[in-house]
């Protein structure tokens, strides 16, 4: 502040201490937020699960025992295999019993039975199919799997119609499902801040018009609108383009909540003394908005954005489940659940519903995390 | 009240206009006009297309006109003759198709709202009055789970249980699938409403007038119902504003999963086969009905709560 008032003066002692104390106050607030957040037990659990899920996103192909396209025709609808620690001879070591396939001569129904006499040994850091870690390093080491690369495939969570490993596909699906929410929310964040900011900062007639538009978007059923927009994306476009457009579709409808939040904050901050001070100091309008007011509401905005991610994840899952979102060969939780659309399929292979469990866990974790952040965002309250 | 009514109805007009414009934009969104898609599909199947029919359709919808002219043609057809356009896939008027399926959609959405109300009122009140009891924790947990579970997943799981335990048939609509649909649709809304009602009632119960009434020896049940509950009941009407859009959206998915012949699956099929007049019309009708439902709930709220209607003046 001192340097702005006296541009010629060299930064004197008081200015530097000012800066220091400002920094201390800033980190102090972060520490206060963290302290308050830590007390919220569910939010901490949510944080841990969320961090874990994003680790899975980053190291997906290392954690997954198989690639998402690898299949084994003998393992169509193979059930989950149980991990055993001790075998019949009393020897220790992680292993599963390989499945043998039998066909009922009358009904032609396939049944899998574990072959107790044999075992497939499991281990950590085993060799499997090749992939690029972090998209750069070429390697074939996987976190766990059968120690012998030529052994029968192991399906800890069962296999699907084509004998593909459900666990591996769920892990790979985490990538798309967890990032689509993040990218979608970032897009609606930008839209929300700009539109909500203009609305709350300028006020008056502009505010009224923008609020009517926001209300309109909130009043029409989102799902049909999402479906209609997603259906317009040509089927033959590349998976990457489709992914980007789906996020655009999601955020196009999802920015309204954030815009409302931003507007409300701007309206209340406008009357604060530090904003008045900055205005008298000659700060420009955009400067006032972006360098004075926005930082002071950032913690609230991050909380709101976190609470918006689960909605996006649910929306992507529903769109893909209905066949209008992402499409195979892209793997997301919704695409995986598309396999489980028929009641007959669910009855023979209920494990195909497991990606749904991943959705529920992710959404719960993000909700708890967001709730905790919202409560902690204002450490001086109460 | 009259002034509030007038104001509220005045706001509806631009909203309805926007709904129709957005719906028409969705009709127009897919690349190429739908006639060329239609012709391409037919020719791919090796069928012949009658050029005279094509030309008459082209004329009727003015496919060579600019967006705004086409929009007005479509809208004037709807307003003047209830003509929503022609479904390519079904080769029947869109209006007829929708009219056959709309009643069931409305019935399911209405019944779901009734379920939401019937369940969340007692549970929400119990949760607030017996805060931090085991029942409260159970209700809170279930409502969190209800918010986190996608509609279609719940429908799938319930369908699976019904199928394996009770031999439920899902090949056509029956009482079992209808009940599942209503429960599934009710769950998400109930979860949200329980949380709102609980929070509102807790706020209200801490107010001094409640303490004063209690100190005067008013019976606890009477005390609860007479004032705090009436105030906390507001969200039952105000939440219809967000309940209806999410119900209508969820209905599309749940009906598709459960094979219930409502407008939902019809719209989905239409979108998948790019039968755009049918899809756009359904989106518009669902949007309009939602807006109307929201207005009715707003008016009910204003009638119940003088603060709302007087605040408008």
Shortest CB distance from B272 goes to which of A218, A231, A359?
A231
- Model confidence at A11, pLDDT cuts 50, 70, 90, reads very low
Q: Which helix (H) or strand (E) holds A85?
A: strand A84-86
Q: How far is CA A146 from CA A98, A131, A168, A295, A368, in A?
A: 11, 17, 14, 51, 37
Please write the tens of the pLDDT for every residue from A275-298: 888 888 887 777 777 777 777 777
Q: What pLDDT does residue A13 have?
A: 47
Q: Which helix (H) or strand (E) holds A130?
A: strand A120-133
User: Residue A68 phi/psi, 5° resolution?
Assistant: -70, -20
Cβ atoms < 10 Å from Cβ of A42: 15
∠ CA A212-A217-A223, nearest 5°, is 165
Return the structure tokens found at A29: 């607030």
| Cα separation, A122 vs A120, whole angstroms | 6
Q: Which helix (H) or strand (E) holds A147?
A: none
Please write the tens of the pLDDT for every residue from A350-381: 888 888 888 989 988 888 888 888 777 765 55
Please tell me which residue of chain A has the smallest CA distance to B280. A228
Q: Are A343 and B163 in contact (CB under 8 A)?
A: yes
Task: Report, as an integer, the average pLDDT of A119-148.
Answer: 74
Return the structure tokens found at A178: 């967890």
Contact B253 A321 (CB under 8 A): yes
Judge residue A382's burial from the number of C-beta atoms within 10 Å of its C-beta, 0-12 exposed, 13-18 middle, 19 or more buried. Answer: exposed
Bridge partners of residue A131, in order along the sequence: A139
DSSP A292: I
∠ CA A152-A156-A159, nearest 5°, is 75
Contact B153 A353 (CB under 8 A): yes
Q: Are A178 and A245 in contact (CB under 8 A)?
A: no
Task: Return the closest-CA partner of residue A250 out of A302, A185, A298.
Answer: A185
Residue length of chain B: 313
Shortest CB distance from A343 goes to which of B15, B23, B170?
B170
Task: Report, as an integer, the average pLDDT of A220-230.
Answer: 79
Shortest CB distance from B150 goes to which of A222, A228, A318?
A318
Nearest-neighbour CA in chain B from A233: distance (Å): 7
CB of B164 within 8 Å of any CB in chain A?
A: yes
Q: Where are the domains of chain B?
A: 95-271
What is residue A167's three-state secondary structure? helix
Contact A323 B272 (CB under 8 A): yes
Q: What pLDDT does residue B62 have?
A: 67
Pairing relationship of beta strands A120-133 and A137-146 according to DSSP bridges: antiparallel
What is residue A158's three-state secondary structure? coil
Q: Which helix (H) or strand (E) holds A159?
A: none
| Cα separation, A178 vs A55, whole angstroms | 11
CB-side exposure of B281: number of CA atoms within 13 Å? 26
Does the interface predicted TM-score (ipTM) exceed 0.85? Answer: no
Task: Return the closest-CA partner of residue B12 out of B309, B291, B244.
Answer: B291
Q: Are B300 and B1 in contact (CB under 8 A)?
A: no
| Cα separation, A97 vs A113, whole angstroms | 9
Q: How far is CA B10 from the centre of its chain?
A: 22
Shortest CB distance from A219 goes to which of B156, B160, B294?
B294
Minimum mean pLDDT range among A26-30, A48-52, A73-77, B166-170: A26-30
Q: What pLDDT does residue A6 have?
A: 41
- Name the class of domain A36-60+168-377: mainly alpha
Shortest CB distance from B150 goes to which of A215, A359, A367?
A359
Q: Where are the domains of chain A?
A: 36-60+168-377, 81-154
| Cα separation, A94 vs A78, whole angstroms | 20
Q: What pLDDT does residue B61 have?
A: 65
Q: What pLDDT does residue A280 have?
A: 85
Q: What pLDDT does residue B68 have?
A: 80
User: Residue A122 phi/psi, 5° resolution?
Assistant: -110, 150
Task: Return the closest-CA partner of residue A180 out of A358, A367, A313, A360.
Answer: A313
Q: Which fold has domain B95-271?
A: MetI-like fold (1.10.3720)
Judge residue A211's burial from the number of C-beta atoms within 10 Å of its C-beta, 0-12 exposed, 13-18 middle, 19 or more buried. Answer: middle
Contact A228 B245 (CB under 8 A): no
Cβ-count burial A10-27 (b if 16+ within 10 Å, e if not): eeeeeeeeeeeeeeeeee
Task: Show the low-confidence residues of chain B (pLDDT under 70).
Answer: 31-38, 41-42, 45-46, 60-64, 170-171, 241-242, 311-313
B-chain CB neighbours of A220 within 8 Å are 19, 22, 245, 287, 290-291
Q: Are B153 and A337 in contact (CB under 8 A)?
A: yes
Bridge partners of residue A164, in order along the sequence: A71
Between positions 215 and 254 of B, the ones with CB within 8 A of A are 241-242, 244-246, 248-250, 252-253
The answer, yes or no, to whether the previous bond of A329 is cis (omega within 30 of 0) is: yes
More confident residue, B46 or A241: A241
- Model confidence at A8, pLDDT cuts 50, 70, 90, reads very low
- Model confidence at A10, pLDDT cuts 50, 70, 90, reads very low
What is residue A138's three-state secondary structure? strand
What is residue A164's three-state secondary structure? strand
Between positions 273 and 312 of B, the ones with CB within 8 A of A are 274, 279-280, 282-283, 286-287, 290-291, 294
What is residue A136's three-state secondary structure? coil
More confident residue, A98 or B34: A98
A-chain CB neighbours of B11 within 8 Å are 212
- Model confidence at A3, pLDDT cuts 50, 70, 90, reads very low
CB of B125 within 8 Å of any CB in chain A?
A: no
Shortest CB distance from B29 goes to which of A216, A221, A232?
A232
Contact B29 A346 (CB under 8 A): no
Shortest CB distance from B148 goes to which of A323, A324, A360?
A360
The label of the residue with tokens 């979102």 reads A325
DSSP-derived secondary structure for B151-195: HHHHHHHHHHHHHHHH----SS--HHHHHHHHHHHHHHHHHHHHH
Determine if residue B217 is left, alpha or beta; phi over 0 gives left, psi from -120 to 50 gives alpha, anything else beta. left
What is residue A40's three-state secondary structure? coil
B-chain CB neighbours of A232 within 8 Å are 26, 29-30
Nearest-neighbour CA in chain B from A226: distance (Å): 9
Task: Return the closest-CA partner of residue A260 out of A298, A324, A304, A228.
Answer: A304
Task: Report, as an integer, the average pLDDT of A223-242.
Answer: 79
Contact A224 B163 (CB under 8 A): no
Q: Please state, for a pLDDT cut of 90, what percent of chain A lies above it.
A: 1
**Residue from B28, B249, B254 to probe the interface with A (highest A Cβ count within 10 Å):** B249
Please give the sequence-ordered ranges of beta strands (E in DSSP) within chain B, or none if there are none.
Answer: 86-87, 92-93
B-chain CB neighbours of A316 within 8 Å are none
In the predicted model, what is the mean pLDDT of chain A? 77
Judge residue A87's burial from the number of C-beta atoms within 10 Å of its C-beta, 0-12 exposed, 13-18 middle, 19 or more buried. Answer: middle
């Amino acid at each position: 502040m001192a340097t702005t008032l006296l541009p010629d003066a060299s930064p004197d002692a008081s200015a530097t201490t000012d800066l220091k104390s400002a920094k201390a106050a800033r980190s102090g607030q972060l520490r206060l937020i963290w302290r308050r957040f830590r007390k919220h037990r569910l939010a901490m659990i949510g944080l841990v699960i969320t961090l874990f899920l994003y680790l899975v996103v980053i190291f997906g192909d290392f954690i997954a025992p198989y690639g998402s396209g690898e299949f084994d025709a003998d393992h169509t609808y193979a059930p989950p295999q149980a991990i055993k620690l001790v075998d019949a001879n009393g020897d220790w070591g992680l292993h599963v019993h390989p499945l043998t396939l039998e066909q009922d001569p009358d009904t032609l129904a396939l049944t899998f039975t574990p072959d107790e006499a044999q075992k497939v040994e499991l281990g950590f850091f085993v060799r499997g199919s090749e992939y690029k870690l972090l998209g750069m390093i070429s390697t074939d080491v996987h976190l766990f799997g059968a120690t012998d690369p030529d052994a029968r495939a192991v399906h800890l969570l069962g296999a699907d119609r084509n004998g593909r490993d459900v666990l591996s596909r769920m892990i790979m699906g985490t990538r798309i499902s967890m990032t689509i929410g993040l990218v979608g929310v970032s897009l609606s964040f930008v839209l929300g801040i700009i539109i909500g900011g203009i609305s709350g900062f300028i006020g008056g007639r502009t505010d009224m018009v923008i609020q009517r538009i926001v209300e309109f978007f909130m009043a029409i059923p989102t799902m049909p609108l999402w479906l209609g927009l997603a259906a317009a994306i040509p089927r033959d476009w590349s998976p990457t383009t489709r992914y980007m457009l789906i996020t655009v579709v999601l955020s196009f409808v999802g920015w309204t909540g954030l815009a409302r939040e931003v507007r409300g904050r701007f309206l209340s901050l406008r009357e604060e003394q530090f904003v008045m001070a900055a205005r008298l100091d000659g700060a420009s309008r955009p400067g006032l908005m972006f360098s004075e007011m926005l930082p002071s509401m950032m913690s609230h905005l991050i909380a709101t954005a976190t609470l918006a991610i689960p909605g996006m994840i649910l929306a992507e899952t529903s769109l893909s489940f209905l066949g209008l979102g992402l499409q195979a060969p892209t793997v997301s939780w919704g695409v995986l659940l598309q396999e489980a659309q028929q009641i007959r399929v669910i009855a023979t292979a209920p494990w195909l519903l497991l990606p749904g469990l991943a959705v529920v866990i992710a959404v719960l974790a993000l909700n708890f995390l967001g709730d905790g952040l919202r409560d902690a965002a204002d450490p001086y309250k109460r | 009240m009259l002034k509030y009514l007038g104001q509220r109805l005045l706001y509806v007009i631009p909203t309805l206009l926007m709904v129709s414009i957005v719906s028409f934009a969705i009709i127009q969104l897919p690349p190429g006009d739908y006639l060329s898609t239609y012709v391409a599909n037919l020719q791919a199947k090796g069928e012949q297309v009658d050029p005279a029919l094509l030309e008459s359709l082209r004329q009727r919808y003015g496919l060579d006109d600019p967006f705004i002219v086409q929009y007005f043609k479509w809208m004037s057809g709807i307003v003047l003759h209830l003509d929503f356009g022609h479904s390519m896939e079904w080769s029947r008027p869109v209006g007829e198709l929708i009219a056959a399926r709309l009643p069931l959609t409305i019935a399911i959405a209405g019944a779901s709202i009734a379920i939401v109300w019937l369940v969340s009122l007692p549970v929400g009140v119990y949760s607030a009055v017996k805060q931090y009891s085991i029942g409260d924790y159970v209700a809170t947990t279930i409502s969190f789970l209800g918010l986190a579970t996608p509609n279609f997943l719940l429908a799938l799981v319930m369908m699976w249980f019904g199928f394996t335990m009770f031999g439920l048939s899902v090949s056509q609509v029956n009482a079992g699938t209808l009940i599942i649909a209503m429960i599934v649709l009710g769950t998400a809304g109930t979860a949200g409403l329980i949380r709102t009602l609980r929070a509102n009632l807790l706020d209200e119960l801490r107010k001094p007038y409640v303490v004063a009434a209690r100190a005067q020896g008013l019976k606890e049940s009477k005390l609860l119902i007479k004032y705090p509950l009436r105030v906390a009941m507001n969200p039952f009407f105000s939440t219809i504003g967000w309940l209806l859009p999410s119900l209508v959206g969820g209905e599309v998915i749940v009906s598709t999963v459960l094979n219930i012949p409502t407008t939902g699956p019809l719209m989905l099929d239409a979108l998948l086969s790019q039968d755009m007049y049918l899809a756009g019309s359904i989106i518009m009708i669902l949007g309009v009905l939602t807006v109307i439902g929201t207005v009715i709930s707003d008016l009910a709220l204003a009638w119940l709560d003088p603060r709302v209607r007087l605040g408008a003046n």
